[in-house]
Amino acid sequence: MPFSEWCQWLQHTRFATTITESDWLFPLIEGSHILALPLSVGMIVIADLRLLGLAFCGEATGRIVPSFLRLSRIGFPVMFLTGVLLFVTQAGKAYGNPFFRTKLIFLVLAAINAAAYQKLLYPKMAGWDSAHGAPPGAKFCAAFSLVLWIGVIVCGRTMAYQF
């Protein structure tokens, strides 16, 4: 079955329809998706700002960045679960939506960027002193991360206007 057809099927399952037609369940899921943003993306943004030397200066990067990344673990499971549930309710429509597709691409890029950071730069963070801050590679990762996450939020909001 081609993927687009499977999306249509998924959207019309009883599970999906129950959420789609609900009085309070859909608003709860959608509201949680938005209000878990500060607990996920918000914490990543602060960590990125530290790497760029714009925030929390004077405290070792090797301490602050892991602290905020740890906090972001509260929100991401919620974002993922609610995101999947929201997709299920409109799989067919979302599949063809250019903003949704862009959002997914940005999410994948953000994950790759984060993985690269974890593997290559995270172990070296303790050596970056407050005077000189993070090396250019880390700053690039941080700036790229910011652009991607802002893009995810903008696409997420705008996709509703493309149905």
Which one of 39, 69, 78, 104 is in contact with other proteins (CB under 8 A)? Answer: 39
13's tokens: 């399952």
46 binds other proteins (CB under 8 A): yes
Among 68, 67, 63, which residue's Cα sits nearest to residue 42? Answer: 68
CA-to-CA distance for 108 and 117, rounded, in angstroms?
14
Of 77, 76, 56, give the one whose Cα is nearest residue 67. 56
**Residue whose C-alpha is closest to residue 155's, from 111, 105, 110, 112:** 105
Among 89, 100, 117, 128, the residue binding other proteins under the rule CB under 8 A is 89
Amino acid 31 reads G
**Taking contact as CB under 8 A, which single stretch among the options 2-10, 15-23, 119-127, 128-136 is the one that binds other proteins?**
15-23
Q: With CB under 8 A as the contact rule, which of the stretches 2-10, 43-51, 108-116, 125-133 interacts with other proteins? A: 43-51
Interface with other proteins (CB under 8 A), residue from 6, 12, 15, 21: 21
**Interface map 137-156 toward other proteins (x if CB under 8 A):** ---------xx--xx-xxx-
